[in-house]
């Protein structure tokens, strides 16, 4: 190899390769920074007046177009650099130059075009993204026609294979990202279990319905409008609930909802208007003070129902199915308990815990306990897509109503029916396998 090979052309080609490698590193680092940067942090910087953060938010709004532009630019410069290196080294070493060019460019692109810039980008993603975003914005505008053609071609290929792309999926992805960050924070010890449960509970309100948490109609305490007023008053005073539905004839025929305070106020008015004797209580009309019943469909989401409670300034709703039949009731407190956990006061009836651990490691669980509550209590991952309660899950998986003593194994747990009443699974025994 003589020195005449190292002429002006040699140095120009070498310099071009170095520039192309730098540009390749820029594209690779930009891709990593813009995809790894937190949009929340960028939004915070943008609110403080950062132009780069504002540009980064605009660029990442359409991630498909952004990645397409970066990949297009990166592939162009890498192929061009490899071509120049092949021509240069072939001139120096003959046919062996192809092998040298392949090995040399692979090493250079790997170190300077990929690993080094991506390491820097992932270390300072928001800072890197804010600085490169204005340039990437211009590049996207220049390459936009080509990117659109490529995107249509790719979506057409995906369509042929039965894959459908959802342009609005980023909304769901954002919710999943937040949930993932919360779960990761808990696993690393940065977020307490109680805080994790509250945050995830608030996120789940949009995906859960009132049917999942409502009090079943068999558990609703009601007042018969034809009952004697003094008996109604006694029932209202003995009840742990402040609001009671009022029916006549059939419990499906709900005429209103009476509040204990309104009933007490009516009693006071009657006594003050008469001779203040107990006999005057017979004139108390419970329907006179009862509020108009508020019915909601069982498919209403918890988020929407909470908004309706706050809008209507009421805390109590009766749940009906698609045919208008009474299914249960739901209160604002029920929804809040999905976020903060069980809320009790001095009037709540003390009940045994629906979850107890035996000495041999088994868990005795009420069949009516919801899968969600059990998962939150024990950090399990039992599915709740097909059933709401533990008993419902067991019936769904068994495809039958099990008998007492029957044992099933699914989802990594052993289930045993301990007690059964009619067709209801009252008590179950669960053991992790």
- Per DSSP, the residues of 185-215 read HHHTTSS-HHHHHHHHHHHHTTT-BHHHHSE
pLDDT of residue 201: 75
In contact, 417 and 395? CB cutoff 8 Å: no
* pLDDT digit string, tens, across residues 117-138: 888 888 888 888 888 888 888 8
* Residues 393, 276: Cα–Cα separation, whole Å: 57
**Mean pLDDT (whole number) for 296-320:** 88
* pLDDT digit string, tens, across residues 269-280: 777 765 555 556
pLDDT of residue 5: 55
Q: With bands split at pLDDT 50, 70 and 90, how would you rate the model's confidence at 181?
A: confident
* Residues 47, 337: Cα–Cα separation, whole Å: 35
Question: Which stretches of 124-228 are DSSP H helices?
Answer: 125-160, 169-187, 193-204, 210-213
pLDDT of residue 219: 81
Count the residues in the chain.
Answer: 433
Looking at residue 300, the DSSP 8-state letter turns out to be -
Looking at residue 49, the DSSP 8-state letter turns out to be T
Q: Is the pLDDT of residue 345 over 70?
A: no
Domain 355-432 top-level CATH class: alpha beta
* pLDDT digit string, tens, across residues 198-224: 777 777 788 788 888 888 888 888 888
Q: Which is nearest to 290 in space by CA: 326, 251, 245?
A: 245
Q: Is the pLDDT of residue 300 over 80?
A: yes
* Residues 16, 316: Cα–Cα separation, whole Å: 74
Element (H or E) spanning 77, and its range? helix 63-93
* Residues 187, 3: Cα–Cα separation, whole Å: 63
Q: Which CATH architecture has domain 210-340?
A: Roll (3.10)
pLDDT of residue 229: 80
Phi-psi region of 189 (alpha: psi -120 to 50; beta: other; left: phi over 0): left
Element (H or E) spanning 402, and its range? none
Q: With bands split at pLDDT 50, 70 and 90, how would you rate the model's confidence at 1?
A: very low
Instruction: Tell how far CA 145 is from the center of its chain.
Output: 36
Predicted TM-score (pTM) of this structure = 0.57
């Amino acid at each position: 190899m003589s020195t005449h090979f190292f002429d002006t052309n040699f140095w120009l080609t070498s310099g071009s390769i170095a520039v192309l490698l730098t540009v390749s590193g820029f594209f690779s680092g930009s891709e990593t920074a813009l995809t790894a940067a937190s949009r929340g942090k960028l939004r915070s910087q943008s609110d403080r007046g950062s132009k780069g953060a504002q540009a980064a938010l605009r660029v990442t709004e359409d991630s498909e177009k952004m990645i397409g532009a970066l990949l297009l630019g990166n592939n162009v410069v890498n192929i061009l650099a490899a071509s120049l290196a092949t021509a240069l080294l072939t001139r120096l070493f003959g046919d062996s130059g192809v092998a040298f060019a392949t090995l040399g460019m692979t090493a250079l692109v790997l170190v300077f075009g990929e690993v080094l810039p991506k390491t820097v980008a992932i270390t300072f993603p928001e800072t890197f993204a804010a600085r490169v975003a204005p340039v990437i914005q211009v590049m996207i505008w220049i390459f936009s026609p080509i990117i659109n053609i490529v995107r249509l071609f790719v979506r057409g290929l995906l369509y042929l294979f039965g894959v459908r792309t959802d342009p609005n999926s980023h909304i769901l992805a954002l919710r999943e990202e937040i949930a993932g960050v919360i779960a990761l924070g808990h696993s690393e010890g940065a977020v307490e279990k109680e805080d994790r449960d509250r945050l995830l509970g608030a996120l789940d309100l949009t995906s859960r319905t009132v049917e999942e948490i409502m009090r079943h109609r068999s558990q609703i305490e009601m007042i018969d409008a034809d009952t004697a007023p003094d008996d109604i008053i006694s029932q209202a005073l003995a009840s742990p609930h402040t609001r009671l539905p009022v029916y006549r004839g059939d419990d499906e025929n709900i005429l209103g909802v009476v509040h204990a305070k309104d009933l007490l106020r009516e009693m006071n008015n009657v006594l003050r208007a008469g001779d203040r004797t107990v006999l005057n209580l017979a004139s108390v009309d419970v329907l006179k003070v009862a509020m108009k019943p508020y019915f909601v469909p069982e498919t209403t989401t918890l988020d929407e129902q909470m908004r309706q409670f706050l809008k209507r300034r009421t805390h109590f709703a009766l749940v009906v199915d698609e045919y208008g039949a009474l299914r249960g009731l739901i209160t604002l407190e029920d929804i809040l308990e999905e976020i903060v956990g069980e809320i009790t006061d001095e009037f709540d009836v003390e009940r045994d815990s629906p979850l107890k651990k035996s000495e041999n490691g088994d868990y005795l669980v009420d069949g009516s306990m919801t899968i969600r509550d059990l998962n939150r209590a024990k950090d399990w991952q039992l599915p709740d897509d097909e059933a709401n309660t533990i008993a419902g899950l067991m019936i769904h998986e068994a495809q039958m109503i099990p008998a007492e003593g029957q044992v099933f194994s699914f989802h990594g747990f052993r289930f045993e029916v301990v007690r059964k009443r009619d067709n209801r699974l009252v008590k179950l025994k669960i053991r992790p396998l």
